[in-house]
Amino acid sequence: MKIIRPTFTKLTAVLFSVASACFCSAQSSERTTGVSNTGTPYFSDPALSPDASEIAFVSGGDIWTVPAKGGEARLLISHPDFETRPVYSPDGRYIAFTSTRSGNGDIYVLNFANGQLTRLTYDDGADNVNSWSPDGKYIYFSSSSREISGMQDVFRVRVDGGTPMPVSQNRYLSEFFPMPSPDGKTLAITARGVASGQWWRKGHSHLDESEIWLMHEGKNGTYEKITEGGAKELWPMWSKDSKTLYYISDRTGAANLYARPVGGAAKMLTQFAKGLILFPTISYNGQSIVFEKDFKVWRFDLASGKATPVDITRRGVPAGPGVEHVRLTSQFRGLELSPDGKKIAFIAHGDVFVASAKDGGDAVRVTTTGANEGQVTWAPNSNSIVYTSDRDGVSHLYQYNFITSSETRLTNDKLDDGSALFSYDGKTLAFVRDGKELRVLDMNSKNQISLAKGYFDRPPFSSSSSIAWSPDNRYVAYAAYGSKSFQNIYVVPVTGGEAKPVTFLANGNSGSVNWSRDGKYLLFNTSQRTENGAVARVDLVLQRPRFREDQFQQMFTEQVQTTPAPGNPPTTPRPNPEKANRAADTMFKSPAKTVKPGETTNIVFDGIRQRLNLLPLGVDVNDETISKDGNTLLITASVAGQVHLFTYSLDELSREPAVLKQLTSTPGFKSDAQFSPDGKEVYFLEQGRIQSITVDTRAVKPVAVTAELDVDFHKEKVEVFKQAWEVQNKGFYDETFHGADWNAVKTTYEPLAEGANTPDELRRILSLMVGELNASHSGVSGPPSPFITGRLGLRFEANEYENSAKLKIIEVITLGPAAVTGDIHVGDYLVSVDGVPISANVNIDQLLENKINKRVVVGISSAGSAKDTKKVTVRPVNQTTEKGLLYRQWVQQQRDYVAKVSGGRLGYVHMYDMSAQSLNQLYLDIDAENHSREGVVVDVRNNNGGFVNAYALDVLSRKGYMTMTVRGLPSAPARTQLGQRALDAPTILVTNQHSLSDAEDFAEGYRTLNLGKVVGEPTGGWIIYTSAATLIDGTTIRLPFIKVTDHEGKDMELHPRPVDILVSKPLGEYNKDSQLDVAVKVLLQQLDSKLSKK
């Protein structure tokens, strides 16, 4: 399911990334030698040489070799990026592997004879090496780059290069871990589920379960399922005579090695009681199998039936990262402008920095702890800041004084403190403890008192914007949760007393609390999911109207009061050059003036519920703040998929009516917007860079700031591990951690993290640690690499290319780059790209590198020869766009199929996921044609979840109750006429193993509301709401934090939603869909039965 807070970005279903770990790819850096590595080494991805005498394995992100019986390992392939999954060729002359040195993971092959290293794939997706063809000519791999969503297909590429070709490509169905039999007649593959990416999970859900299939030789390839399902069954391996398959299964709970004769029954070969077995390989002579278990390499002797760990000692220096001197000019967060407008504070790589707001330049680094600091807030005198730091494993508040250049710890509790905000006079600091208590700290005595208890946002969702002080420092307003998790605004006296609500909204999201400068009203944003964020105003007292005539009269009153008495003229102050020079030396030498208290704040609680209204803004508000003079509201809002800044007048005496005025026009994501003290400028972050913009002229000026620091991976990895463990320790939805001893888990994995040599190796270890929770919606990933490979929207015939080196087009993706030209058709040949002819050794992905959205000229021939070639200009798209086009083409194909097999009686809709975008697409797809059908097949197979299940169910569950007729027009259902979405027709639901998360909520609602039958497969059993936290190095870790139960109170996690009619869709089913066939048949039977009763 999607993240439930708008301040966090949704993560995709990719649960492990081999992306480049460089967090500063857009900035310059210098690398120096790092400190020596400590901790426990981690050995993974073992592979046996053909004669079973040698093992290649991965450690420290590099590839090593060791004698099969153990001993001293020597470094074979070393690179600062991550190498993984080495596999020997059948003749032992080569070793293939996947490396992130060129992005998200490409395939390389090393020639042992001459040491030549050759790159074979150029796709910007992750290509994972699996095996070799028996003749050593091809390398088999799996990749999701050409499939819909994250589904995988099986490909192979020649060892001497060329364009990879698909081997098994069942659309919208995952296939991976291919292994050809030694006789070359059969390909064993793993199909279904997400275990190719979530191999690190200990235990499994239905979504993790997989099956092993055989693809028999032939042009189209026939498929045969040989395992029963109901378990994770992975990594098929063939015996030397091609008569027995070995594989890993967790059918008994723990992972073990199995043997299954072709056509026979399976036999368990190992007897492990717990743990995982990962990435096994078999020697080509059939004598041994090696695998990863308990962070070591194990060897299983097939003759004796014994498994033993291989004793390994590394000899060599891995090429991991050293100490990098980093100059950051972006990737900043938590921007805070000082009250005097002269300084800016921000967070860069977990540390606090301060710079000149006017000139930028080199920022001053305030903290150097290596821990994660955040939530900076300035004292009103602009001479000190308060921030959070988790340097001791608990988030405490610290104050840094720029006058004395000293840091002071302000809190020292065992629970987390955060969301700190100074009172206007600077004497008191409000903050939240453990997400459950609002407290205030006297800055002189350092005494604390508790003001209120409740349910506040907790890290990583919390911020100081959920708190606001009254201008006279007598009250604190705050956002907190109440009944049914509705979030409302409360106020509490600073001296203590009862906290009282001032709003009573039935909304799940409220925050960004602002107290008006005159103390008479509060502003805050509030919303429900899928609804635009709105700014609400609640008047604390009855607001009397104000008139411009009164303002005009006041001008004369002020003139009388300020007229000087007769006598000596006032003395004009003379400038002090020495004092001015001292002030110029530093921003912090002269004390700043404190904020003067405003008018006394009064609150009339009687009738306050009726004094709330929404400002007429018409945008999706994310955040807002009031200018110092109280006359202007600065708004950060989303419009048409972009985030922009707006202003809105709060001045009741303005001559012009209040209207929303857009300040920014650039497309980058914007946050942390705030006024300068005089209200003439706005400072903000855009794409992590500091910017300012003038309110009147809307002139944008970058505040060019550079933050420099040394990043020592071997020190930082310890902090990254600590943060990752703490995220789950404090935020995982189940306090029992699904039965895992989380402290013991820390003890197990901490030495491994200390021994990690690259960021990707560290993330692999963190993934295994998270896997101990056996929870869905989990995972660890690094910053993604950008897409660089252009896509033409074409698919090619594999046999013809491998036999004659000709790229015959067998599919032109609808509305893709090739399709929109109108000059490229199925049956044509692609003969060149930008003048480079296609050949057996040319990879078209390499020709399309860095060609996204650029002019590319392709040669197209109807016969495959250069004689009749025509030049066609295309504009390649990126991977995401092509996947989206492929998905919409698939939807249309399913819609046509349902219309065909139902004789035109039934319509069809599919939901890609449960996002707001997919809900809008559902509204489009339930079109006039679908409304004209007798019934509709609703398909949520492969739906990745989200949060809009209730809205989609509403469309299907609403029943008609009136009809409306406009003279001269056909009658229409009242709901439709009044603008409400309602299908009001019989439906049937189709689900499968990959219907997960909110799609399962949808299935549960569909059954509970008795909307129709459910056909297909039980859902994935992935039912938690999740968010994510970003660690100090840019690593993202997902956090399942909300439990979901059904209407009977039963936990839905690990419990798939059942079906009424079980139908599986086999591999190799082309131009047919068994699940849709049954769905159509059942729904037509229901319709016919209903008609016969009339």
Amino acid at 564: P
Helices (H) and strands (E) in the chain, counts: 14, 72
SS3 of residue 1040 by DSSP: strand
* Catalytic option among 997, 1000, 1017, 1027: 997
Chain center to CA of 829: 39
Report the C-alpha gap between 327 and 706 in whole angstroms. 6
Pairing of β 906-910 and β 935-939: parallel
Report the C-alpha gap between 607 and 540 in whole angstroms. 10
Contact of 943 with 969, CB cutoff 8 Å: no
Cβ-Cβ contacts under 8 Å for 1005 (sequence gap 6 or more): 949, 950, 953
Assigned token pair, 877: 């798209």
Helix (H) or strand (E) holding 833: strand 829-833
Cβ-Cβ contacts under 8 Å for 900 (sequence gap 6 or more): none
Number of Cα atoms under 13 Å in the Cβ half of residue 347: 23
Report the C-alpha gap between 847 and 856 in whole angstroms. 10
Number of Cα atoms under 13 Å in the Cβ half of residue 527: 20
CA–CA distances in Å: residue 149 to residues 164, 175, 263, 775, 930: 20, 13, 34, 21, 25
* Of 317, 323, 318, the residue nearest 715 (C-alpha): 323
DSSP string, 921-964: HHHHHS-HHHHHSSEEEEE-TT---BS-HHHHHHHHH-----EE
CA–CA distances in Å: residue 230 to residues 80, 205, 244, 871: 40, 9, 21, 52
Q: Identify the bridge partners of residue 332 per DSSP, sorted by sequence position.
A: 348
SS3 of residue 423 by DSSP: coil
Asked if 997 is an active-site residue, the reply is: yes
Q: What are phi and psi of 1055, to 5 degrees?
A: -125, 95
CA–CA distances in Å: residue 41 to residues 188, 201, 312, 758: 33, 21, 10, 12
Contact of 587 with 343, CB cutoff 8 Å: yes
* Catalytic option among 777, 781, 797, 915: 777
Contact of 631 with 517, CB cutoff 8 Å: no
Contact of 243 with 207, CB cutoff 8 Å: no
Amino acid at 535: V
The most distant pair of C-alpha atoms in the chain lies apart, rounded to whole Å, by: 116
Asked if 777 is an active-site residue, the reply is: yes
Report the C-alpha gap between 693 and 645 in whole angstroms. 10
Q: Which of left, alpha, beta for 169 (phi over 0: left; psi -120 to 50: alpha)? A: beta
Asked if 25 is an active-site residue, the reply is: no
* CA angle 78–84–89, rounded 5-degree value: 95
Q: Is the peptide bond before 460 cis (omega within 30 degrees of 0)?
A: yes
Report the C-alpha gap between 327 and 348 in whole angstroms. 10
Report the C-alpha gap between 302 and 119 in whole angstroms. 34
Cβ-Cβ contacts under 8 Å for 231 (sequence gap 6 or more): 204, 209, 249, 250, 251
Q: Which of left, alpha, beta for 230 (phi over 0: left; psi -120 to 50: alpha)? A: left
* Strands ordered across the beta sheet of 620-626: 620-626, 632-639, 642-649, 661-662
Supply the residues annotated as catalytic: 777, 997, 1053
